[in-house]
Each structure stands twice: as structure tokens, then as C-alpha cells.
């Protein structure tokens, strides 16, 4: 994985987010807003940011683990291809997503 991840994603909708990641040939950084303890997991856009509603509570890293599990399923990526770079204890997180093309 390259050390200089310069591509930061600001998708306008969920389909664009998914397509950009699936078609990317380099790692992507993306800032997401998290709403923990939701009724169910979901993904949506909020302005130029991705918002994730996560069913797990933000206790003892459960929501962070669920973020990775949920995105792994949606993007059809291994869990170790999704990393939380910053914001582990915040509702705003910077994620690093490594597309399948780099495996």
C-alpha cells in the first residue's frame, strides 16, 4: 500500500461512493459521519459526506467494528481493506479504503 494516500473522496450519492471505490486503482480516504445505536445499519449522503447509521452502540469499540463489517459487506471487500485512520471516539471518522484492484 502506498504511503502517500492523496485521493480523498467526497461523493454526492451512495451509488457514486460505491462505484468510485469499486473502480479505484488507489487507496481512498473518506470522511464519514456516524450515527450509532440506530435501528438498523444504513448508508446515505449528507451534503458531500457519507453518513452511516450503525446499529451497535458506541461502547467499547462495537460501533467501530460494525462500521468495518458493514462497509466490508456493502463494498464486497475484506475487512482488513477498511481502516479507521482517525476519529475512533468521534462521530466523524476518516477511513482508508483499499480497493480490490490493489490486493
Q: Yes or no: say if 94 and 85 are a contact pair by the CB < 8 Å rule.
A: yes
Q: Report the predicted TM-score, pTM, of the whole model to 2 decimal places.
A: 0.84
Q: 90: alpha, beta or left, given left = phi > 0 and alpha = psi -120 to 50? A: beta
Across residues 11-20, what is the average pLDDT? 80
Question: Which triple of cell numbers denotes residue 79?
Answer: 475487512
User: Which residue pairs from 55-61 have beta carbons closer than 8 angstroms and sit at least 24 positions apart in sequence?
Assistant: 58/34, 58/89, 58/91, 61/88
Across residues 58-81, what is the average pLDDT? 95
Question: Which triple of cell numbers denotes residue 74?
Answer: 456493502
| pLDDT confidence of residue 1 | 41
Amino acid at each position: 500500500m502506498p504511503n502517500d494516500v492523496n485521493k480523498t473522496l467526497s461523493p454526492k450519492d451512495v451509488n457514486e461512493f460505491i462505484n468510485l471505490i469499486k473502480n479505484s486503482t488507489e487507496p481512498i480516504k473518506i470522511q464519514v459521519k456516524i450515527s450509532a445505536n440506530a435501528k438498523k445499519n444504513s448508508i446515505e449522503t449528507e451534503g458531500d459526506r457519507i453518513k452511516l447509521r450503525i446499529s451497535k452502540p458506541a461502547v467499547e469499540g462495537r460501533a467501530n467494528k460494525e462500521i468495518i463489517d458493514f462497509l466490508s459487506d456493502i463494498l464486497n471487500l475484506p475487512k482488513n481493506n477498511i481502516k479507521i485512520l482517525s476519529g475512533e471516539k468521534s462521530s466523524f471518522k476518516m477511513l482508508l479504503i483499499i480497493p480490490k484492484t490493489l490486493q
